[in-house]
C-alpha cells in the first residue's frame, strides 16, 4: 500500500506529504539511510501520545458520566495500550507503510507490536499538526474509540491476571497457578518463561524480563486460548 492509497483508505488528505511520510519512519531506517531528508517519527509520537490521551479522556468522561475516575483510567489504559494500538495499526495496514531497517523488518515479535503502536501515535501527531484537533478527533473516534463498548462489556480493561482468575473461577471453580518454566540470561537482562495452570492442566506460557511481566503475558495468552479476550 502506498501513502496515497492509505490516504484514500482513511479518507484523509494531507497538505504536507513529508509530514505524513515522517510519521512512518522508524529510527532504524534513518541509521541505514542517513541521506534521507526527513527525521524519524519519535517527536511526532511524543505529540501524538498527548493528543491521544486527551481525546480518549474527553470521550470517556462524556460517555460514562456515572463512572468514577478509577474506572475511566482503567478504560483508557485498555484503549491506549500497545496491544490495542498495534491491533488498530494492523487493521489500517501500517505494516505496509512503516520504513524500517532490514533487521527490524524481519522482526515479527512483540517489538513489532510496539513499533506499530508508536507509529499510530506518530500518525496522530502528524494529523494534529496538518489537520487540527477536530480532524484527528474524528480519526481516533473512527479507528480506536469504536472499540470502547466491547472492551468495557468484556472486561478487557481489567488486569489480565485478575480477569483470568475471575473467568477460571467462574467457569471451572479453580484459581490459576503460575510456574517458572525457565530463566535465562545475565542478571541485567533476564528472560523468564512462566506457565499458567488451571489445576493440573497447563493452559499457556508467557515470557518477560521479570516474573511479573511473564505471568501477565501468560495470563493474556490464557485468555486468548480460552476465547475470553474478545
Known catalytic residues?
Answer: 49, 121
Closest alpha carbon to 44 in 128, 104, 112: 128
> Which set of grid coordinates corresponds to residue 224?
486468548
HEC letters along 93-118: CHHHCCECCHHHHHCCCHHHHHHHHH
3-state helix, strand, coil in the chain (%, to 5): 65, 10, 25
Are 131 and 140 a contacting pair, CB within 8 Å?
no
Amino acid at each position: 500500500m502506498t501513502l496515497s492509497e492509505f490516504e484514500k483508505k482513511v479518507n484523509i488528505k494531507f497538505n504536507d506529504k513529508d509530514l505524513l511520510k515522517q510519521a512512518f519512519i522508524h529510527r532504524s531506517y534513518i541509521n541505514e539511510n542517513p541521506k534521507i531528508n526527513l527525521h524519524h517519527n519519535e517527536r511526532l509520537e511524543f505529540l501524538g501520545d498527548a493528543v491521544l490521551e486527551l481525546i480518549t479522556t474527553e470521550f470517556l468522561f462524556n460517555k460514562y458520566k456515572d463512572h468514577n475516575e478509577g474506572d475511566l483510567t482503567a478504560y483508557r489504559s485498555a484503549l491506549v495500550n500497545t496491544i490495542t494500538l498495534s491491533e488498530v495499526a494492523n487493521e489500517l495496514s501500517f505494516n505496509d507503510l512503516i520504513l524500517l531497517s532490514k533487521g527490524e523488518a524481519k522482526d515479527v515479535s512483540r517489538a513489532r507490536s510496539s513499533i506499530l503502536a508508536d507509529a499510530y501515535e506518530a500518525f496522530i501527531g502528524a494529523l494534529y499538526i496538518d489537520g487540527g484537533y477536530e480532524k484527528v478527533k474524528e480519526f481516533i473516534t473512527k479507528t480506536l474509540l469504536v472499540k470502547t463498548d466491547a472492551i468495557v462489556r468484556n472486561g478487557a480493561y481489567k488486569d489480565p491476571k485478575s480477569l483470568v482468575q475471575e473467568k477460571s473461577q467462574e467457569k471451572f471453580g479453580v484459581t490459576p497457578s503460575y510456574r517458572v518454566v525457565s530463566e535465562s540470561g545475565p542478571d541485567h537482562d533476564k528472560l523468564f518463561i512462566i506457565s499458567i495452570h488451571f489445576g493440573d492442566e497447563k493452559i499457556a506460557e508467557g515470557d518477560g524480563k521479570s516474573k511479573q511481566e511473564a505471568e501477565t503475558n501468560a495470563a493474556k495468552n490464557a485468555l486468548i486460548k480460552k476465547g475470553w479476550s474478545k
